[in-house]
Amino acid sequence: MDMGWADGVTRVAVLTGAGISTDSGIPDYRGPSGVWTRDPALVNAFTYRSFMAKPRVRATFWRTYLGHAAWRAEPNAAHRALADLERAGVAVRILTQNVDGLHQKAGSSPRKVLELHGTMHEVVCTGCRTRTPSDRTLARVADGEDDPRCPACGKILKLAVVLFGEHLDPVLVGQAERIAGNSGLMLAVGSSLQVEPVASLCAVAVNAGNRLVIVNRDPTPYDDLAVEVIREPIGTALPRIAGALAAAVTH
């Protein structure tokens, strides 16, 4: 792997998708063994309109997350490589589509991780907007509540994740766009780059004159904009990339 594109880079934006967490035992969504691939009907449970309108859809959603692998998952070599890169003195900002919290668990500074699609570690009330730790609501689901409601106002509870058809926080998106435009290198790791507006952060980076490198098993719509597309496994590719970036800064 020729990593000449790492030369002179001091600021790195890393856009991460589900593929970075598969080595931690969390299935992706669109891969051969992905969540949507194995059970296309589950897409309905992750659609905001259906979730809000149908108690049975909410029941399916909560059951799906009750046994989700992410609750037991530990960071893998790729997550740790990004945390090590930050510790090495490289200005790293992580723009993640993931809701699993593994970047922070690996040691990346929470203030340097933008969770663009939210977090599964909190529940938000759709009425009064109160946020609480997820384990409280999941314990109620485990005890037999199919459709848990807010203890304060009685409205529908949902995980603090962005569902299909739900708008991203415009302030957070604006912050991500500024980071993408001001970083010399954008690494897109483990993302199909099919979900907008997050995927278009790659174009924001390139249009600002920055380099784009894509690390992903499958082709993406943004491959043609990249200075390099890397197909090798993320668990080996990302530690090598992080090592090269750290070495470039320290020498």
Residues recognised as catalytic: 117
- 100 Cα distance to chain centroid: 7
Please tell me the distance from the alpha carbon of residue 87 to that of residue 93, in angstroms, as a whole number.
12
* 3-state DSSP of 95-143: EECCCCCHHHHHCCCHHHEEECCEEEEEEEECCCCCEEEHHHHHHHHHC
DSSP string, 195-224: STTTTTHHHHHHHTT-EEEEE-SS--TTGG
The answer to whether 73 touches 95, Cβ cutoff 8 Å, is no
